[in-house]
């Protein structure tokens, strides 16, 4: 693969450059063909770089470019205000680098609404897509994986949007997970046809009749992570709450287990190490920090949203997602596959 | 406390009388002042009773009355059809027993929509309540508890309904959990004021100004079970998906841990018993079967919805909830407390 260039919104997230800078250095170390455009406050970034050992390698430094930004879009900014005042912000500049083809992908841990709004404005949705959706690949317990969308880009969705998400999710499962004719399900509050919201029932009717989608019906919350479907579709509100619920529970669970194991006498601690390995084997792949990075799907370029609370490891995982999307040429693949007829949304 | 009478919809749930009959016998054994009206097919019920040891006690049999029903409302029945054809069904008869004051509470594991619709029709909502909500008490990790509603009675909710749920939840936390000035939060996709749906933002504005509610703001999915709030309010769609997600994950964890522990050599199995005790101590109280039974709140009587998949232990837990609601006089307490001004819903 040729050189890859990723623009990072270094000022985003709860920790800004304190996480983005070391994550960038780690990603550059791991990927010799990667270039990073680090968008942010040059003084802050340079001060952090000077503290880092591996930044002294001239090879790594030669693949890192600092791009100055003059402002940051805050987490609590209202969408319209954020977009109106976005000029010069790290998020907007990172997206503009993708728009102008100076970068092939952008990663930001910033305000989701603003990222979605600016991405739509600058990078534009694909021809048949009304609104992009946030997608992540969740691990299933049986070591399988599930593509889930929307995770918060669109709090309210009509049935056509849900159908478009199903089509995009299906393409992702085929291309990223390598699953032929992936199973697609809608998240609902019951398995019976009559259950749920009008938008879901209407989407189900369209998907049932869709000859290119392997639609398998409704799935309930308790079936998440069971690997019963390859693609799970829901509106952004439900998707966001559900994903965070899963993440919160897994974190509670893993940390409580660690507590059970480590607060013991010496022999229990030895035992604990053995047990911790077994637990890691069973649950470690569910650790939220391992699969950070939601892809803003349905755009004419790659935009990855990292968790605001992402640590270095998680931010690197988001950069890896960007690299994978560039290497697999995801936006083009979706555009090509969308030649199949898609309904247009009333919300567009 | 005087005698308690609970009507059971014995034909409801995935297992019908096979779970309801032994659960009834167990509850009668545990509560000497309990009477149960078992609504269902007499032949099926009597056949099951004849197989049970404890049904031979004349004391228990004297506190059990079989009431004949001639039909069952199915899980996949459409609400309007279910209600139109409800005459003679076990669910309707059980609710009618509450209406006619022959029972003080009713427990059903049947179709949630039908239970909600028939309860509203027969038992009527309290004067200031537009629509009843399904409420459960979820365990928190710190051994605290959280009242959560709505869990699926109303898939769509306007802001006034959310405010009413907040008021009812607050009353429940005060009376059932004994918490003075309980903290009330709205489930949302961010902590910032601008986040989420219009209905949630409007409800937040009302609750902030409400002098009788200790409103603490938005809570996200990952904060569930952390005990950060005493009452968590959401619409029925999100609540249902979230609760099922939590239940599914906990079941996956508990069963995977059992698997990790038991598939070992003899010394690991001994070790396993010790570990299992520790794990049960930490997580056992989160077992969904332990806190089965959602209360249909806001009615002029007590109606408890059990999980369709409830086993005997879980069905007994639902009966216990009914007993608790009767003993604490919950409907009357809510009615009294609702004297404070409540907004009326547009959806009513």
3-state secondary structure B101-115: CCCCEEEECCCHHHH
Collect all residues with Cβ–Cβ distance below 8 Å to A221 and sequence separation of at least 6. A187, A242, B240, B241, B242, B243, B244, B245, B246, B247, B248
Q: Considering only residues 45 to 104 of chain B, which have any Cβ-Cβ distance to chain A shorter than 8 Å?
A: 75-79
Closest approach of B72 to chain A, Cα-based (Å): 17
Residue B196 to residue A247, Cβ atoms within 8 A:
no
Tokens encoding A25? 């250095």
pLDDT at A40 over 90: yes
Q: Region A7-29: what's the mean pLDDT?
A: 95
Q: Give the model's confidence band at B348: pLDDT under 50 very low, under 70 low, under 90 confident, else very high.
A: very low
Residue A189 to residue B237, Cβ atoms within 8 A:
yes
pLDDT at A225 over 50: yes
Pick the residue with more confidence: A143 or B181? B181
Collect all residues with Cβ–Cβ distance below 8 Å to A101 and sequence separation of at least 6. none
pLDDT at B96 over 90: yes
Closest approach of B273 to chain A, Cα-based (Å): 14
Collect all residues with Cβ–Cβ distance below 8 Å to A43 and sequence separation of at least 6. none
Q: Match 């997230």 to its residue by tokens.
A: A13
Closest approach of B329 to chain A, Cα-based (Å): 31
Nearest residue to A234 via CA among A186, A197, A189: A186
Nearest residue to B306 via CA among B297, B316, B298: B316
Is A332 in CB contact (< 8 Å) with chain B? no
| Adjacency order of strands within the sheet including B214-219 | B64-68, B34-40, B4-9, B105-108, B302-305, B294-297, B133-139, B145-149, B231-233, B183-187, B214-219
Residue B224 to residue A248, Cβ atoms within 8 A:
yes
Q: If phi over 0 gives left and psi between -120 and 50 gives alpha, with beta otherwise, what is residue B185?
A: beta
CA distances from B188 to A55, A244, B160 (A): 40, 11, 16
Is A244 in CB contact (< 8 Å) with chain B? yes
Please give the Cα distance from B195 to B189 (Å, whole number).
Answer: 7
Please give the Cα distance from B66 to A281 (Å, whole number).
Answer: 52
> Tell me, what's the pLDDT at B271?
67
> Tell me, what's the pLDDT at A205?
95
Residue B221 to residue A240, Cβ atoms within 8 A:
yes
End-to-end CA distance of chain B: 37
Compute how many other C-beta atoms are within 10 angstroms of the C-beta atom of residue B10.
Answer: 32
Q: Say which range, A107-111, A124-128, B50-54, has the weakest mean pLDDT.
A: B50-54
pLDDT at B58 over 90: no
Q: Considering only residues 281 to 300 of chain A, which have any Cβ-Cβ distance to chain B shorter than 8 Å?
A: 282-283
Residue A248 to residue B190, Cβ atoms within 8 A:
no
Predicted ipTM of the assembly: 0.84
Q: Which residues of B touch A237 (CB under 8 A)?
A: 189, 196-197, 238
A76, A190, A245 ranked by CB distance to B242: nearest: A245
pLDDT at B168 over 60: yes
Instruction: Give how far the C-alpha of residue A222 lies from the chain's centroid of Cα atoms, to the nearest Å.
Output: 22
Helix (H, G, I), strand (E, B) or coil at A334: helix
Q: Which residues of A touch B220 (CB under 8 A)?
A: 241, 244, 248
CA distances from B284 to A176, B39, B255, B280 (A): 38, 33, 11, 4
User: What sign does the dihedral B192-B193-B198-B199 (CA atoms) show?
Assistant: positive
Q: If phi over 0 gives left and psi between -120 and 50 gives alpha, with beta otherwise, what is residue A143?
A: left
Residue A242 to residue B221, Cβ atoms within 8 A:
yes
Looking at chain B, list the stretches that DSSP marks H as alpha helix, in order from N- to C-terminal side.
Answer: 17-30, 42-51, 58-62, 79-84, 90-99, 112-122, 159-175, 198-209, 236-262, 266-283, 312-327, 330-337
Tokens encoding A296? 């803003």
Is B150 in CB contact (< 8 Å) with chain A? no
Tokens encoding B58? 């004349």
Closest approach of B105 to chain A, Cα-based (Å): 26
Is B225 in CB contact (< 8 Å) with chain A? yes
Which candidate in A193, A249, A279 is best for mutational testing of the B interface (most B CBs within 10 A)?
A249
Helix (H, G, I), strand (E, B) or coil at B16: coil
Q: Match 């009376």 to its residue by tokens.
A: B175
Closest approach of B187 to chain A, Cα-based (Å): 8
Compute how many other C-beta atoms are within 10 angstroms of the C-beta atom of residue B160.
Answer: 21
Pick the residue with more confidence: B313 or A79? B313
Q: Considering only residues 168 to 187 of chain A, which have any Cβ-Cβ distance to chain B shorter than 8 Å?
A: 187
Closest approach of A322 to chain B, Cα-based (Å): 24
Q: Region A147-160: what's the mean pLDDT?
A: 92
> Tell me, what's the pLDDT at B45?
95
B225, B238, B248 ranked by CB distance to A241: nearest: B238
Q: Give the model's confidence band at A257: pLDDT under 50 very low, under 70 low, under 90 confident, else very high.
A: low
- Residue pair B26/B40 in contact (Cβ under 8 Å)? The answer is no
Q: Give the model's confidence band at B139: pLDDT under 50 very low, under 70 low, under 90 confident, else very high.
A: confident
Please give the Cα distance from B99 to B105 (Å, whole number).
Answer: 9
Residue-range domains of chain B with CATH: 1-129+298-307 (3.40.718.10), 133-296 (3.40.718.10)
User: How high does pLDDT run on average in chain A?
Assistant: 87
Closest approach of A247 to chain B, Cα-based (Å): 6
Q: Considering only residues 124 to 143 of chain B, which have any Cβ-Cβ distance to chain A shorter than 8 Å?
A: 141
Question: Helix, strand, coil proportions of chain B in percent (round to 5)?
Answer: 50, 15, 35
Question: Helix, strand, coil proportions of chain A in percent (round to 5)?
Answer: 50, 15, 35
């Amino acid at each position: 693969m040729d050189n890859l260039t990723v623009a990072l919104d270094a000022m985003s997230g709860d920790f800004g450059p304190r996480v983005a800078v070391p994550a960038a250095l780690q990603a550059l170390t791991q990927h010799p063909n990667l270039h990073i455009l680090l968008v942010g406050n040059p003084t802050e970034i340079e001060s952090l770089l000077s503290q880092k050992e591996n930044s002294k390698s001239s090879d790594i430094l030669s693949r890192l470019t600092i791009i100055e930004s003059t402002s940051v879009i805050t987490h609590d900014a209202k969408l319209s205000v954020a977009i109106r005042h976005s000029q010069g912000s790290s998020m907007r500049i990172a997206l503009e680098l993708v728009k102008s083809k100076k970068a092939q992908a952008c990663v930001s841990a910033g305000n989701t609404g603003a990222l979605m709004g600016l991405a739509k404005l600058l990078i534009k949705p694909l021809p048949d897509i009304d609104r992009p959706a946030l997608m992540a690949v969740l691990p299933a317990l049986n070591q399988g994986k599930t593509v889930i969308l929307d995770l918060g880009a669109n709090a309210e969705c009509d049935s056509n949007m849900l159908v478009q998400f199903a089509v995009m999710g299906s393409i992702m499962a085929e291309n990223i997970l390598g699953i032929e004719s992936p199973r697609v399900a809608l998240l609902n509050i019951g398995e019976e046809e009559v259950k749920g919201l009008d938008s879901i029932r209407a989407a189900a009717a369209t998907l049932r009749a869709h000859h290119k989608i392997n639609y398998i019906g409704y799935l309930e919350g308790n079936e998440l992570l069971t690997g019963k479907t390859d693609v799970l579709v829901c509106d952004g509100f439900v998707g966001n709450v559900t994903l965070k619920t899963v993440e919160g529970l897994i974190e509670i669970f893993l940390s409580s287990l660690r507590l059970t194991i480590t607060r013991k006498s010496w022999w229990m601690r030895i035992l604990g190490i053995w047990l911790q390995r077994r637990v890691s084997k069973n649950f470690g792949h569910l650790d939220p920090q391992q699969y950070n990075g939601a892809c803003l799907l349905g755009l004419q370029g790659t935009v990855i949203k990292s968790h605001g609370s992402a640590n270095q490891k998680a931010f690197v995982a988001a950069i890896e997602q960007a690299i994978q999307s560039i290497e697999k040429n995801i936006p083009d693949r979706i555009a090509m596959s969308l030649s199949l007829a898609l309904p247009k949304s009333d919300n567009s």
